[in-house]
Amino acid sequence: AAVAELVGNGTAELGFLQLPETDHRLVAREFLAEPYLVLVHRRHRLARASAVSLKQLAGESFIQYRGKVRDTVQQACRQAGFEPKIACATSELATLHALAQIGLGIAILPRMAIPGGLKNVRESPIARPGLDRKLGIVQRRSTPISNAAQAFLAALDKHTADG
């Protein structure tokens, strides 16, 4: 929300954020999609699963990351037929990782939010159809951007096209 506001009020020309973005002042384009993964303690019943369906998580205690990630996870759980049982919610990833490592509950996070080297946890993909986070770049709809911002967007387009 803070990034959208900075771009929307003209403080910043461009901003990176999770899509969708509903601010009518902005135009957004996706540049990356990444999967969400289930993070469970190594002794959890699902720790050895090659993939986990959302329905398998009904009744589990969730550690939730606040913001759009939380909203996405809650909506996906509801679509799977259950309301997630929240053991803890935090806006600090380090806290979430620590709580998962001691087995307080499971977490569903985008791949980039899970660092390597976490102890006592396993990460599993979500079974089909899965769950993805879409990241985008936004700019003001009504304001031309600088040459530098145009060059940056061109470089981003080239990079994403090259894979």
Percentage of the chain beyond pLDDT 90 is 87
DSSP letters, 20-55, are P---TTEEEEEEEEEEEEEEEETTSTTTT-SSB-GG
pLDDT in tens, 2-15: 999 999 999 999 99
Nearby residues of 78 by Cβ (< 8 Å), 6 or more positions away: none
Cα 152 to Cα 135: distance, rounded to the nearest angstrom: 16
Q: Are 6 and 16 in contact (CB under 8 A)?
A: no
pLDDT value of residue 159: 81
Q: What pairs with residue 27 in β-bridges?
A: 139
Cα 64 to Cα 78: distance, rounded to the nearest angstrom: 15
Q: Are 8 and 80 in contact (CB under 8 A)?
A: no
pLDDT value of residue 90: 96
81: which 2 tokens? 């037929």
Q: Report pTM.
A: 0.84
